[in-house]
Amino acid sequence: MLDPAGNRPTSRAWTELLHAEVAYTLRRAGIPVLHIKGPTVGLWLYEDGERHWGDVDILVPPDRMHEALAVLQRKGLDEINPGVNRHTSSDHAIPLRRKDPAIGWDDVDVHDRFEGLDRDPTATFAELWRRREPARLAHTDVWFPDLPSRAVLVALNAARGGGTAKSLEDLARLLRITTEPEWELVLALAGRLDALPALRAGLELLPDGRQVVATTSLHTVPVSPEWRLRVSAAPRTALRIEELSRVPWSRRPRVVWRWLFPPVAVLRMRDPRAEGPAGVVLAHARRLQDGARSLPGALAELRRSRRS
């Protein structure tokens, strides 16, 4: 039975099968793959059945990204936003989808990086892969990040979205079970992955997390304006302006032009009405209008983040 949105059933069996299929398919192609989010959190921090995990989030080596996408596309998983890739967008994952007439949608997000892990993505994957640990889903061997890696990802996931209800509950459960010596391991790993500013930003979303910051070396780590904006769920315009401040002057005109007039594939992802020449022109106009309307609030958010 489908859920009201037409998605795949939420039973544990269905979701495990999809995770197992993705793992098996990529393993047969010789592509290293780490499962992130979903079962790596649900099977660790929750009792059986307490936390739903449906779509698949995987991390693959950056230099195998295109190959991984091709392998999964041969299994009927198509890009939800064709043309949106590393050359046209800075989005952290490329989403794939397969429609099963009898069951619903299979969704897979393929990551080659994770926001907040600021070390070179290739070196980051190598570190996480070196620390991986085995698990099983639907009687299939899979790889999960080890516990310190998962702890970093839980905090970063909370930080990058401003703290959704689900991500904050994940973080709260992590904080309840993690001991002081274990936090030292988490901080050491975050340091190697250049993730300390984002880690602090995520932890400070909750009182128990602020206590961890106050009692560890994290209290000496400054949170950048970017991450202060992210945890406050600031508008995209504010993040864009902050990013521009870190771009060399020689590159700024090109960057601004790309923001104002993105490739059609990216425009269509943001605004599905951008179909046909007239639709594309109108979508560009709406984008510019929305940007101008949000500019005063974005500048105010940016000033607050820098004062902090």
The 10s digit of each residue's pLDDT in 210-231 is 999 999 999 999 998 889 888 8
Q: Which two tokens stand for residue 200?
A: 């602090």
Q: What is the pLDDT of residue 1?
A: 41
CB 104 within 8 A of CB 8: yes
- Determine the structural domain holding residue 256 and report its residue range: 234-307
Q: What is the pLDDT of residue 41?
A: 96
Q: How far apart are CA 176 and CA 91, in angstroms?
A: 32
Residues 266-275, mean pLDDT to the nearest whole number: 79
More confident residue, 13 or 11: 13
- Both 91 and 147 in one domain: the answer is yes
- Both 87 and 58 in one domain: the answer is yes
Q: 267-283 burial string, b = 16+ CB within 10 Å, else e?
A: bbbbbeebeeeebbeeb
By percentage, how much of the chain surpasses pLDDT 70?
A: 93
Q: Which of 211, 227, 243 is the last residue of a domain?
A: 227
Rounding to the nearest 10 degrees, give the CA dihedral for residues 52, 53, 55, 59. 160
Q: How far apart are CA 91 and CA 111, in angstroms?
A: 9
> 1 in a domain, yes or no?
no
Q: Which of 177, 205, 227 is the last residue of a domain?
A: 227
Instruction: List residues bridging with 93 in a β-sheet.
Output: 111
Q: Which of 199, 227, 255 is the last residue of a domain?
A: 227
> 40 in a domain, yes or no?
yes
Q: What is the pLDDT of residue 308?
A: 67
- Both 152 and 300 in one domain: the answer is no
Q: Confidence class of residue 268 from pLDDT cuts 50, 70 and 90?
A: confident
More confident residue, 136 or 5: 136
Q: How far apart are CA 111 and CA 125, in angstroms?
A: 10
Q: What is the pLDDT of residue 181?
A: 93
- Both 21 and 102 in one domain: the answer is yes
| Ramachandran sector of residue 141 (left: φ over 0; alpha: ψ -120 to 50; beta: rest) | beta
Q: Confidence class of residue 259 from pLDDT cuts 50, 70 and 90?
A: confident
Residues 42-56, mean pLDDT to the nearest whole number: 88
- Both 98 and 240 in one domain: the answer is no
Q: Confidence class of residue 88 from pLDDT cuts 50, 70 and 90?
A: low
Mean pLDDT of the chain: 87
- Both 223 and 241 in one domain: the answer is no
Q: How far apart are CA 57 and CA 34, in angstroms?
A: 9
CB 282 within 8 A of CB 289: no
> 297 in a domain, yes or no?
yes
Q: Confidence class of residue 167 from pLDDT cuts 50, 70 and 90?
A: very high
Outline where the chain has alpha helix (H): 12-28, 38-45, 65-73, 121-130, 147-160, 165-177, 180-192, 196-203, 207-214, 225-231, 236-245, 252-260, 264-270, 276-307
Q: 121-142 burial string, b = 16+ CB within 10 Å, else e?
A: beebbeebbeebeebebbebeb
* Number of residues that this document lists for the chain: 308
Q: Confidence class of residue 271 from pLDDT cuts 50, 70 and 90?
A: confident
CATH of the domain at 124: 3.30.460.40
For 126-136, the pLDDT digits (tens) are 999 999 999 99
Distances (CA, A) of 196 to 130, 192, 302, 308: 20, 9, 21, 17
Q: What is the pLDDT of residue 2?
A: 47
> 120 in a domain, yes or no?
yes
- Both 221 and 276 in one domain: the answer is no
> 4 in a domain, yes or no?
no
- Both 210 and 274 in one domain: the answer is no
Over 90: is that where the pLDDT of 11 sits? no
- Both 81 and 176 in one domain: the answer is yes
Distances (CA, A) of 198 to 113, 176, 202, 209: 14, 20, 6, 13
Q: Confidence class of residue 137 from pLDDT cuts 50, 70 and 90?
A: very high
- Both 200 and 85 in one domain: the answer is yes
What are the DSSP E strand ranges found in 42-132? 56-59, 78-79, 93-100, 104-111
In the numeric block, the tokens 């101008």 are attached to 292
Q: Confidence class of residue 285 from pLDDT cuts 50, 70 and 90?
A: confident
